[in-house]
Structure 1
Amino acid sequence: RIVGLSTALANPQDLADWIGIDTRTGIGMYNFRPSVRPVPMEVHIQGFPGRHYCPRMATMNKPCYAAIKEYSPHKPVLIFVASRRQTRLTALDLINYMAGDEDGPGTFAGPSAGADLQSTADALDDAALRHVSSFGVGLHHAGLSAGDREATERLFLRGDLRVLVATATLAWGVNLPAHLVIVKGTEYFDGKSGRYVDYPVTDVLQMMGRAGRPQFDTEAVAVVMVEESKRNFYKKFLYEPFPLESCFLERIGEALNAEVAIGTLGSLSDAVGYLSWTFLARRVKENPSFYGAVSGSDEDVRSFLLDTAKTALKKLQANECVKIDNGVGLGNDEFGVSPTVLGRACSKFYLQHRTPQHAKRGLRALRRQIWQALPRAAPDAAPPSLSPAAEEAGLAGLLWILASAPEFDEMPVRHNEETHNAALAQDVPWGVRPPPVGGGPDRGRGDDDKDPHADPHVKTFLLLQARLFRRPLPVSDYVTDSFSVLD
């Protein structure tokens, strides 16, 4: 088995020990520092003032053009930005600066580009991509169709497009190296927290790693544009290896539930033993304060794993995924665990551990509404039936139960998408909330809610309605989001 990592680690021994490599001999473990690369790289870190994100991004466009002229006037350039909107804005500004530069190249198209570039550009689906491609600039983000992305990659690799403006996901996907890489901003908008947050340093390194084409270049250049106050941080830490930490605690509920469901774990002590073999246990011992442990001693690590397992199993019990039997075991802390029907369903269908109970409670509440909405009939009369309006409200309620599942907690609501959600809510039948089955005030438009259009579950509900009722989506980003919801 080969495990490939994209950046240097400060703790490669921990990972090697976990996957069974003999750390005493080190045979099978290779840890290369960032400076070890086939093509030497020159790095420039530039700071930009400004509290607000969008104006600061706009001030970076002219330095982007200057960097292209200075470091890569005739070689391919990759520019990484944080959003699909920024790909368009950056590409258009670069074209404007080029058009107004008397000493500029006149076009970013490659020397061999001609009628073939124009014919390919004319066949592209995205209007913004069609426009900028004719000037030798490409766009690459998840909102484009597969055909547009493949055509852009082909043109860039062939040299017809010399500048490619892409979102950061490209750094982890298609291999498109360039002579110059510009990281335009190190922040992105996190829809879940509703604010701009920093990329992990490993992501910035991954973007920079696209600089340099071993078969063509003897050197490469990377320009990292950051907010002024973060300039010294990146100068100091960009080439310092960071320790690899465990993310297991974020999904410990799903992992333990799956083991209980298949019978691997039957008690609290089984769960503690299971955790002791994880990468988490190794990192708790080496870096206890990061995980909230008292110390890295064997006793404190075991106490931490015991408390972690107990808390996770109690949460699974609260969400009706497991049953706890306190009659198992002799110690005060020991108890047995067994799976429930909801727990098995959660494991079988790869659901979050909160989802089955969420669906159960939602269905019960909807059933009560339907029961109360049924007209009362005499015992010898025909069974009562719901009115068409109540039936439709019931369907809307089912769709809302699905849209409000924990799986959609992180559906991205990007900057300024509240406006698109509000417009879409007026176009779909049920708005941002399902109407009550029994009639009464219609909350479907969300007038009484506090900013419902920024809620990821509301956006999911709107996308599902748009799909069912064949309503047009406001922007191409919503097409991609709709596919994500359906998947």
Structure 2
Amino acid sequence: MRYISSQIERPIRIVALSSSLSNAKDVAHWLGCSATSTFNFHPNVRPVPLELHIQGFNISHTQTRLLSMAKPVYHAITKHSPKKPVIVFVPSRKQTRLTAIDILTTCAADIQRQRFLHCTEKDLIPYLEKLSDSTLKETLLNGVGYLHEGLSPMERRLVEQLFSSGAIQVVVASRSLCWGMNVAAHLVIIMDTQYYNGKIHAYVDYPIYDVLQMVGHANRPLQDDEGRCVIMCQGSKKDFFKKFLYEPLPVESHLDHCMHDHFNAEIVTKTIENKQDAVDYLTWTFLYRRMTQNPNYYNLQGISHRHLSDHLSELVEQTLSDLEQSKCISIEDEMDVAPLNLGMIAAYYYINYTTIELFSMSLNAKTKVRGLIEIISNAAEYENIPIRHHEDNLLRQLAQKVPHKLNNPKFNDPHVKTNLLLQAHLSRMQLSAELQSDTEEILSKAIRLIQACVDVLSSNGWLSPALAAMELAQMVTQAMWSKDSYLKQLPHFTSEHIKRCTDKGVESVFDIMEMEDEERNALLQLTDSQIADVARFCNRYPNIELSYEVVDKDSIRSGGPVVVLVQLEREEEVTGPVIAPLFPQFRAGRSGSRL
């Protein structure tokens, strides 16, 4: 941004917020902040002072260690926060339920079953009726709630509301929610500091910034004189947490790990037009500032001007060479760079340069929907889809149900998981909460990847696969296969509704629209509000008139070119985003219909 500001000669104002940093001056210099505009506080400076306890457990087996922490968690609550709110962070969704039950079991053993409930059951019942999770209902009745990724937004808000109001005293939350929770407590307990990473099939430590975020929830200004935190971890990790929780941390640049996509975007926008521009661009980055301060981290042999210059030149040469090999850019006279079609597509749709190279090499004139799903699933954007403990068994079962079977699938491969979840979405299969969450992440990127495929295919003049890709985009939006009934798009339509309509000869949305009200109501048997939803969908359904004219049709010769003027006219303007309840994002400007 500052580089752009210097080029257009207009000042820019940046406001940056961060946790405590040991290298705040480097960050300030990079952002262009003066010393008087930079405020960096020690971690001990908090709105509410923090009392921190670190408890070590000399048990290497993770599940055994978690079991051994169950009673200490309860005792920590009764000792440090017997009456005030408590948040317990655990490694996984499964552990939230187990820990909540363990806390209540220990309560019952203490003959204080509802010690954490601070309202009457009568007041709580109206809230519980809105929940579908029977275990959550039972734990809330005893003053303990839990939060994890599998709960619906409404259920999460309800539990947070009960906790914030003081109706329940304890909430158990999965570690991944530490950044998205809107609650604070007097006491925070971090129950173990390792989670299972399915990609490498091992338990790994929480990132230190996750731990800091969890600790930060022990913060209630104007309500507490101090906050408290208990960290339960392996005995060997105690000294590590003592050091890093009491000292500010440095922040380093990772630009060198993803420089290709940055360079490609800047070349497309003509910010970088030659190799010298690329080097100049890097001198504005945080990477450049940290190279001299921490050379070993960035594989520098020294910090002299010569060392820096050689390293930057090598970095630029290698990055631009990779982009040239992937056919995203061209290099002329070994100096000037220019964007190519693939690079422009990658920059426009914000996709990885290796992904656009994959599309270019894999797509062909005979690609069909099955091939498109396979190609899109192998995009670099899906490399970080999580693989959880024992999830391969679920994926193996899913692989037996999807229409397009995979050859020798590796169920610990995130790309295989992506393929299966895309097919499950199109088949409208019921999935577990974790898999549904992963599906939403996959779908958030799927449309732009498919649209990039359309551009690659159309650039090559391959009409049939381009139409298949357009159809796949609509299939993903409406969660259905092209062979399914068009009526499946309509809200509240089940297989029973579709069968009744088919038996009556009603096969399209237009058939529904042309029916008389009484006849339609008798056939669909929906409530007034559901009929209103169907009507709203039908009103947005595109009705397109197609007309064409052959230019100079009397002078057409065999084998000669023919000019055809085609006109597409839509009867009504688009009235809002697509009605697609099974798609996790709004798609404005497109109809919910299929091509």
- Please confirm whether the aligned pair reaches a TM-score higher than 0.5, indicating the same fold: yes
Paired position in structure 2 for 1:457: 415
Mapped contact 1:428–1:471 kept (Cα < 8 A): no
SS at match of 2:363: helix
Mapped contact 1:78–1:164 kept (Cα < 8 A): yes
Mapped contact 1:285–1:298 kept (Cα < 8 A): no
- The structural deviation recorded for 1:269 is 1.3
Query: Matches of 1:341 and 1:192 in 2, distance apart?
Result: 34
Distance 1:117 1:49, change over 3 A: same
Q: Which residues in structure 2 correspond to 1:285-434 (within 5 Å)?
A: 285-325=292-332, 327-328=333-334, 335-364=335-364, 367=366, 394-431=368-405, 433=406
Query: Matches of 1:220 and 1:323 in 2, distance apart?
Result: 58
Mapped contact 2:184–2:220 kept (Cα < 8 A): yes
State which of 279, 283, 290 in structure 2 corresponds to 1:283.
290
Letter in 2 for 1:56: R
- The structural deviation recorded for 1:6 is 4.2
Q: Please, which runs of 5 or more residues in structure 1 have no aligned partner? A: 329-334, 371-393, 434-442
Paired position in structure 1 for 2:520: none
- The structural deviation recorded for 1:113 is 4.3
Mapped contact 2:327–2:343 kept (Cα < 8 A): yes
SS at match of 1:62: helix
Query: Matches of 1:353 and 1:471 in 2, distance apart?
Result: 33
1:208-227 C-alpha deviation (Å, 9 max, x unpaired) = 11113112111111001111
Query: Matches of 1:210 and 1:395 in 2, distance apart?
Result: 47
State which of 269, 272, 288 in structure 2 corresponds to 1:262.
269
Runs of 4+ in 1 over 6 A off after TM superposition: none
Distance 1:264 1:189, change over 3 A: same
Distance 1:18 1:113, change over 3 A: farther
Q: Please, which runs of 5 or more residues in structure 2 have no aligned partner? A: 1-12, 445-595
Q: Which residues in structure 2 correspond to 1:100-115 (within 5 Å)?
A: 100-102=109-111, 105-115=112-122
Paired position in structure 1 for 2:443: 486
State which of 169, 176, 179 in structure 2 corresponds to 1:169.
176
Distance 1:4 1:127, change over 3 A: farther
Paired position in structure 1 for 2:27: 15
Paired position in structure 1 for 2:57: 48
- The structural deviation recorded for 1:28 is 0.9
Mapped contact 2:117–2:142 kept (Cα < 8 A): no
Which has the higher mean CA deviation after the structures are superposed, 341-350 or 314-323?
Answer: 314-323
1:467 equivalent in alignment to 2:425: yes
Query: Matches of 2:265 and 2:16 in 1, distance apart?
Result: 27
TM-score of the aligned structures, taking structure 1 as reference length:
0.85
- The structural deviation recorded for 1:482 is 1.2
- The structural deviation recorded for 1:51 is 2.2
State which of 57, 61, 73 in structure 1 corresponds to 2:66.
57
SS at match of 2:233: strand
1:147 equivalent in alignment to 2:154: yes
1:328-378 C-alpha deviation (Å, 9 max, x unpaired) = 5xxxxxx221111110010000101111111122213x83xx7xxxxxxxx
* Higher relative contact order (CA closer than 8 Å, sequence separation 6+): 1
Distance 1:140 1:3, change over 3 A: farther
Give the RMSD, CA atoms, in angstroms: 1.7
Q: Which residues in structure 2 correspond to 1:83-162 (within 5 Å)?
A: 83-102=92-111, 105-162=112-169
Which structure is larger by alpha-carbon Rg, 1 or 2? 2
Mapped contact 2:118–2:168 kept (Cα < 8 A): no
Letter in 2 for 1:279: F
Mapped contact 2:54–2:232 kept (Cα < 8 A): yes
Paired position in structure 1 for 2:189: 182
Q: Give the number of equivalent residue pairs.
A: 432
Query: Matches of 1:300 and 1:280 in 2, distance apart?
Result: 15
- The structural deviation recorded for 1:199 is 1.9
Letter in 2 for 1:485: I
Paired position in structure 2 for 1:238: 245
- The structural deviation recorded for 1:193 is 2.8
SS at match of 1:346: helix
- The structural deviation recorded for 1:81 is 1.6
Structure 1 vs Structure 2: percent identity of aligned residues?
A: 41
